[in-house]
Amino acid sequence: MYDTVKQLLVDELNVEEEDIRPDAELVNDLGINSLELADLIMLCEEKFDIEIKDDDIRGFVTVEDVVEYLTGIAGEE
């Protein structure tokens, strides 16, 4: 799941691969703005055929937060 999220960040949001770590903060470390975060959420919803609730998005601070959420809701890829 981590590799999938990492690939989405690199391919779709143009984040530098070497900057992505599980503990990297989406905003502070990777420079993702609110529009890009919305794009990431949409990409994850499409890729895993899930719906991510707005309240859940507030918990997405680090890359690992996203990975853990997706693993819990979508299962391992």
Structural domains in the chain, sorted by start: 2-74 (1.10.1200.10)
Question: What secondary structure letter does DSSP report for 25?
Answer: B
Residue ranges of the alpha helices (H) in the chain? 2-13, 34-48, 54-57, 63-74
Mean pLDDT of 34-47: 94
- In the structure, what pLDDT confidence band is assigned to residue 76 with cuts at 50, 70 and 90? low
- In the structure, what pLDDT confidence band is assigned to residue 60 with cuts at 50, 70 and 90? very high
